[in-house]
A and B are shown apart, each in its own frame.
Chain A
Amino acid sequence: MKLHADREEHRLSANGLLRDDTKFASGKIAFFQYAAVGVFLFLITGFWELQVRNPELYQERAMQNSIKAIPVLAPRGKILDRDGRVIVDNHSSFSLFLSRENLKMEHLKPIAEGLNIDYDSLVARVKRFQSRGAPQYQPIAIKEELTPAELAFVDSHKDADTFPELEVIRVQHRLYPRDGLAAHAIGYVGEISEAELNTPEFARFHQGDVIGKDGIEREYNDLLMGVDGQRRVEVDSFGNERGVLAEDKEAIPGKSLQLTIDLDLQAVAELTMENRRGAVVALDPRSGEVLAMVSRPAFDPNLFAGRIRSKDWKDLIDNPDHPLMNRAIQAQQAPGSTFKPIMALAGLETGAIDDNFHVSCGGGGTFYGRYFHCWSKHGSIELHRGLAQSCDTYFYNVGNRLGIDRIAQYAEMVGYGHKTGIDLPHEADGLVPSSRWKIRNFRERWYPAETISVSIGQGATTVTPLQMAAAIGGMAIGGVWNQPHLVREGARLIPARHAELNQENIKKVILGMYGVVNEPGGTGVRAHLVGVNVAGKTGTAQLASNEVLKGTKIGQTMKDNAWFVGFAPMESPEIVVATLFEGGQHGQLAAPIVRDVLKAYFDKKQRLGQLPREQIASLPAPLPSQLLRPTAAPRGSGAPNP
């Protein structure tokens, strides 16, 4: 570059020539001014477009960016025992949710990989939510009980640039007792399934809701569940909360529910059934309150508290002992000899028999050309010994005199053949055969020979353990049957059924049942207790198809069921306990189960009878794990632990 111009410039500018010289550019400078106006107009129209023409669109998007709706999950109500001790509690943990407002399908893969979730099922799950029209704010739970490592992963990836849909929410999880204590009565919760959403009972719920699936959890779901709330928070682009905007909808926690179950009794009943198949039901016949309800084998409801793993589910479903079945209300089995007190009552009430009615038992009897066995030879026998020693021949004759329809009438009077109406789902009806039933179901008339089997609780007759406890209990208090129920307040109770019965007749039956437990030759002496008069009845029931199956492979595994039903005190019954010991072979082997529960009841009563309820409530709950020791001896001798 040349520098010689420097001095010349100065000279030129000094004489004013160069000043005029700029005039040549004035048109171009004007052009620049117009261009600048153009540029600014160009820019301003850009702002006009965004800020004045449709700001709502962008305000909406700014809100979507920065406002996150976070569900506030309402904790379910606790479930308490009759003394106020906690049976079912909640524990809080962290669950991972996908917020659907900013969910991107292409993020699912890395999320699934980062958190060790099965990708295909995650996609299926998300699609299920989207197809279902669940409310947009409702997020999708994808992982429960997050570990610290998983929490760290989420924390470092939830920013706006990575996976803004990740949302960790503190949730309350159900915490059930260990070892399946009262599992069947309580039931369990779980996430609502597609199939359930299509049923009217569950139609009002949403995809992803955790609902009671069985037992009390299902029956009283509306009470326990509470209402989820929602919180709207402002977040930054890293997903960190900057402040709560509004508690849009407050979560309403579920209400606590007090059961009629007595944890002490329940624990003892569980112990008595350890390693057995069957059920125990204890209830107060005066009110219908269920004090204990056991079904074994049991399952661990905690498996369901989150989403159950498919392997655990398969194990439960494939188990031949059907651990999910609540045998207390669903096992429909022939009552066997426990049916005899009802036969006796029917005989006395109808006048078919009286005190002088004697039968000679030589090990059986022939009716309608067929010989029916008794399990022993009782000789000349009347009502009292017939009950105490459970003579089949005696009751064959009673049944023969009554006829099937009068038997059915009294069986139905005590509650057999239809649901008790207990506040649990899936209760079974049982079956009381009659001539009408035969015609309706088989288009055949009733053969009198069939009545003989029914007289000793065999044949088509089936009952559930709960029905048996309720039937015998109601009879024991003079012919008043209260609806069994599991909650102290709020159960929808139908009024008690009263029967016009001769109290003298009832007394005779009860004395016979007292003989079962307390007299020499009684079949249930193992249920004897010191200090309280126990009355009861054993039952050894053949399985319905035993005759057919004898000699087959299955037949060998199908041992007779053992029943025992007992109540105490005999003079004014407070508690009735029925037990079904599947494959127990003889009713006398079921008697100790009932005895242990009764003993626990009276021990506790003696121990705590004077204590006010508040103090009882503060007693420690029996931990089943602590109690599950080889000795089935009920606690009760020691002083209460304050």
Chain B
Amino acid sequence: MSAYRSVREFDWLMLVLSSAICALGVLQIFSATHDTHYSDAWWKQVIWILAGFVAMWITTLIDYHTLLGQVPILYGLSVTTLIATYVLGMSAFGSRRWIGTTSYHLQVSEFVKLVVVLLVARYMTELKTEQFELIDLLKLGGLVAVPTALVMLQPDLGTALTYLPILVGGIFLAGMRWQYAAAIMVVVALVMPVAYFVVLKDYQRSRVISFLDPSQDPKGSGYQVIQSKIAVGAGALWGRGVTKGTQTQGRFLPVPHKDFIFSAFAEEHGFVGVIVVLGLYFLLLMQIVQNAQTAPDRAGMYICMGIATLLLFHVLVNVGMVVGRMPVTGIPLPLMSSGGSNVLAIFMMLGLVNNVRLRRFVN
């Protein structure tokens, strides 16, 4: 096992960027909840962030090669826990995503993201051939499909969907014949309509409909998108000020401290604030990508790129939803949305990236 060089090699920029995003998130959580009965959400978030720092430190310390060696165990553990969650888990908002006590519960599917990242990284590094063959696709796809299906059953389509870009990103990096890619496209195109009517539940279908035409269902999912767009638009260039957004404060926005935190932020901080935060996210992503480029080995690169892809997907889907350019899927905005599991999981991912970084000069 290699020793890391020194604390100076720690990715301080990444820490600063993520802390800044977290701070803005806490501010927005405070603003969105200060006169509701969620008013303690902001300091709970602070505690989760502090816990996240610790988790990041720990994931930095354990050599990622060791972690990769434990993938079968981690994978087995994930699948077992997901099944247990499905069977025993407590119901929250009509779906079974949580495990634990009422006040501090953990959303298992968030941590499974880490396992999927490690799984893909490990599989890709063990490829014998130059290219990712169809058989690999079936094998790896099958491995990823199991937790994805279990999370979908909870039902939590949004989180389940986040596993797929890790897989797709990995395959893209590994390289695959374009014929296969095309074939997959065709299959997906054929399966989509079937999935729409067979797999999706009513509320999920209505989300798709309302994404395509929000005005059709202004009181359901369309209502959320309309209210979110109103909030964003009302923010204009400079925003309406902290605790001054009527859409946020009047709770016209659904869950303005969780999934729709960015529309609350956009209302109160305006286009300027949006550019700042999106800029922070972009820099964070580029920092992770830079760590991927300097990774000591394929495994490290796959880990970093898997995490980068996952974060990009999160930002795209969540922020896209806020401006009505993505359907409402109910996935949180990394580091900003109130919620402990997500914060912990993201910090652990950043820890993994650091882990890779600290071992880049190892010889």
A194 within 8 A of B: no
Please tell me the number of chain A residues within 8 Å of chain B, measured between CB atoms.
Answer: 56
Q: Are A50 and B172 in contact (CB under 8 A)?
A: no
- A47, A51, A65 pick with most chain B CB within 10 angstroms: A51
Q: Are A19 and B266 in contact (CB under 8 A)?
A: no
| Stretch from A52-60, A367-375, A439-447, A563-571 forming part of the interface with B | A52-60
| Stretch from B18-26, B82-90, B188-196, B305-313 forming part of the interface with A | B305-313
Contact of A43 among B126, B227, B305, B316 (CB under 8 A): B316
Q: Cα distance A16–B297 when bound, in Å? A: 8
Q: Are A48 and B247 in contact (CB under 8 A)?
A: no
CB-contacts of A1-27 with B (<8 A): 1-3, 5-6, 9-10, 12-14, 16, 18-19, 21-22, 24-26
A40 within 8 A of B: yes
CB-contacts of A453-467 with B (<8 A): none
Q: Cα distance A29–B301 when bound, in Å? A: 10
Q: Cα distance A67–B285 when bound, in Å? A: 41
What mask results when residues 141 to 175 of chain B are scored 1 for a CB within 8 Å of chain A, else 0? Answer: 00000000000000000000000000001001101
A66 within 8 A of B: yes
Contact of A55 among B237, B296, B362 (CB under 8 A): B237
Q: Are B274 and A65 in contact (CB under 8 A)?
A: no
CB of A239, distance to nearest CB on chain B (Å): 10
CB-contacts of A31-81 with B (<8 A): 32-33, 35-37, 39-40, 42-44, 46-52, 54-55, 57-59, 61-63, 65-67
Q: Are B233 and A54 in contact (CB under 8 A)?
A: yes
A160 within 8 A of B: yes
Contact of A16 among B173, B247, B363 (CB under 8 A): B363
Q: Are A62 and B230 in contact (CB under 8 A)?
A: yes
With A3-B69, A9-B125: A58-B173 Cβ-Cβ less than 8 Å: no
Q: Are A236 and B250 in contact (CB under 8 A)?
A: yes
Q: Are A19 and B297 in contact (CB under 8 A)?
A: yes
B50 within 8 A of A: no
18 A–B contacts, CB within 8 A, in A order: A1-B122, A19-B296, A24-B175, A25-B305, A26-B293, A29-B173, A36-B285, A43-B315, A43-B323, A43-B325, A47-B323, A51-B237, A62-B234, A62-B246, A66-B250, A66-B252, A234-B250, A236-B250
Q: Using CB atoms, name the residue of chain B closest to A239.
A: B250
Q: Cα distance A607–B243 when bound, in Å? A: 69
A238 within 8 A of B: yes
Q: Are B289 and A51 in contact (CB under 8 A)?
A: no
A178 within 8 A of B: no
Residues of A within 8 A of B241 (CB): none
Q: Using CB atoms, name the residue of chain A closest to B363.
A: A16
A314 within 8 A of B: no
**Residues of B bordering A, CB below 8 Å:** 65, 68-69, 71-72, 122-123, 125-126, 169, 172-173, 175, 219, 223, 227, 229-237, 246-247, 249-252, 266-267, 270-271, 274-275, 278, 281-282, 285-286, 289, 292-293, 295-301, 305, 308-309, 312, 315-316, 319-320, 323-325, 362-363
Q: Cα distance A242–B122 when bound, in Å? A: 55
Q: Are B289 and A50 in contact (CB under 8 A)?
A: no
Q: Are A22 and B236 in contact (CB under 8 A)?
A: no
Q: Are B295 and A22 in contact (CB under 8 A)?
A: yes
Q: Are A51 and B296 in contact (CB under 8 A)?
A: no
**Residues of A bordering B, CB below 8 Å:** 1-3, 5-6, 9-10, 12-14, 16, 18-19, 21-22, 24-26, 28-29, 32-33, 35-37, 39-40, 42-44, 46-52, 54-55, 57-59, 61-63, 65-67, 160-161, 234-238, 242
Contact of A50 among B123, B229, B305 (CB under 8 A): B229
Residues of A within 8 A of B301 (CB): 22, 25, 29
Q: Are B298 and A21 in contact (CB under 8 A)?
A: yes
CB of A510, distance to nearest CB on chain B (Å): 78
Contact of A58 among B69, B234, B250, B275 (CB under 8 A): B234
Q: Cα distance A310–B305 when bound, in Å? A: 77
Residues of A within 8 A of B267 (CB): 62
